[in-house]
Amino acid sequence: MAFLTDEQISIREMARDFAEKEVAPVSSVLESGDLDTLKTLWERMGELGLTGLPFPEKYGGAEVDSLSYFLVLEEVAKVSAALATALSVHVSLVSLPLLENGTEDQKEKYLPDLVAGRKIGAFCLTEPNAGSDAGSGLVQATKNGKGYVMNGTKIFITNALLADIFLVTGRTDKEQAGSKGLSAFILERDYHGMSINKGDDKMGLIGGDWGEMHLDNCRVATHQLLHKEGKGFKVFMKSLNIGRISIATISMGIAEACLEASVKYAKERQQFGKPIANFQAIQFKLADMGTKIEAARGLIYNAARMKQAGLDYAKEASMAKLYASEIANQCATEAVQIHGGYGYTTDFPVERYFRDARVMSLFEGTSEIQHVIIAKHLLK
């Protein structure tokens, strides 16, 4: 375990207590996709201050360091990767971009409710034709009088069904090909011309909601523009850096849950007259899992501390995300293997960890995209 301050340890313990005592008992209900349970947990996270840790006190935040926030994600992810992912999007991809890029009027209007968890944020970048090539988005934001008219569709939106505030990219310059023609906007749920539908059924993260946004001549006032025209892609890409550390942390939490479940099972499961933990084949699997988790922790904490120090951490964030998401899948595979046939049943949690881990190498840029980013930095 890396050295932590007393404050960081205290925050981690509070998050662990919340996860084990309040999230774990309702995990099966949450896993059924019950949005009422998800909303109740959101409200509780707000009461505990978990939705506002890295924000200034003037907006209701705790004004703590970045690593403290990641420690919370880690503890919540051990119990529910779905809830941790929802929190990650809310903080990393909505509230923090507003803090860093919003006008003072925008920050005063939105941040107090987001920081307190009274309102939920969603991040809308992906389109049916624009996934890894996010800069080719086709949602239009046409200048019209005192604002813009937006048309198009966004998909794969975490928190879509419960969100109140949406950060959305739209193409404001049709003449500019690619990402330079994109701008970012702050949309609210009750905007006329905007509709939200439930997304396709998912393999994992069943406990979190996701959906699609359809914009049909949705009018957006000029003061809802985030940052400047043509800077939307840059705003979103910068937010994805911290989002990548967040997904890396959630991945590590899943891997830790896999290891803990495997150690417990290996000590209890008897075969050939002894616990399977006595067999070297099982011991080697556990040793590899534990080593990979600690390696991921080092990458994550290093990236978090670089961010806190104000350094360029884009490469380190991609390295952490790439490695942690891949080892989450590896640890989940080994956990199912250690559990044998029981690991393939819903009676044990490792089958959920296996499903939840799979998306981690897709979120916030696929593993292939992370390789591209890392290589570009190395070749500079």
CA distance 135 to 177: 9
Residues 245 and 304: beta-carbon distance below 8 Å: yes
Counted domains in the chain? 3
Active-site annotation holds for 20: no
My answer on whether 334 and 214 are in the same domain is no
Q: What is the pLDDT of residue 164?
A: 96
CATH code at 309? 1.20.140.10
Q: What is the pLDDT of residues 295-333, one digit of tens each?
A: 999 999 999 999 999 999 999 999 999 999 999 999 999
Model confidence band, residue 173 (pLDDT cutoffs 50, 70, 90): confident
Q: What is the pLDDT of residue 136?
A: 86
My answer on whether 126 and 167 are in the same domain is yes
Model confidence band, residue 2 (pLDDT cutoffs 50, 70, 90): low
My answer on whether 189 and 219 are in the same domain is yes
Mean pLDDT is lowest, of 42-46, 54-58, 180-184, 288-292, for 180-184
My answer on whether 282 and 186 are in the same domain is no
My answer on whether 175 and 267 are in the same domain is no
Q: What is the pLDDT of residue 146?
A: 85
Model confidence band, residue 150 (pLDDT cutoffs 50, 70, 90): very high
User: What pTM was computed for the model?
Assistant: 0.94
My answer on whether 113 and 128 are in the same domain is no
Query: What φ, ψ does residue 218 adopt, rounded to 5°?
Result: -80, 120
Tokens (6 digits) for 124: 């809308």
Residues 120 and 90: beta-carbon distance below 8 Å: yes
What's the mean pLDDT in 346-351?
95
Tokens (6 digits) for 182: 């994109």
My answer on whether 224 and 245 are in the same domain is no
My answer on whether 289 and 354 are in the same domain is yes
My answer on whether 286 and 177 are in the same domain is no
My answer on whether 163 and 269 are in the same domain is no
For 208-274, what is the HEC assignment?
CCEEEEEEEEEEEEHHHEECCCCCHHHHHHHHHHHHHHHHHHHHHHHHHHHHHHHHHHHHHCEECCE
Q: Is the pLDDT of residue 347 over 70?
A: yes
The residue range of the domain holding 48 is: 6-118
- Determine the residue type at 251: S
Find the catalytic residue in 31, 256, 351, 364.
364
Say which residue, 267 or 2, is predicted with more confidence.
Answer: 267
What's the mean pLDDT in 5-15?
95
With a pLDDT cut of 70, the percent of the chain lying above it is: 99
Cβ count within 10 A of residue 222 = 12
What's the mean pLDDT in 121-146?
90
DSSP bridge pairs for 211: 157, 198
Model confidence band, residue 359 (pLDDT cutoffs 50, 70, 90): very high
Whole-number average pLDDT of the chain = 94
Evaluate whether residue 1 is within a structural domain: no
What's the mean pLDDT in 222-229?
94
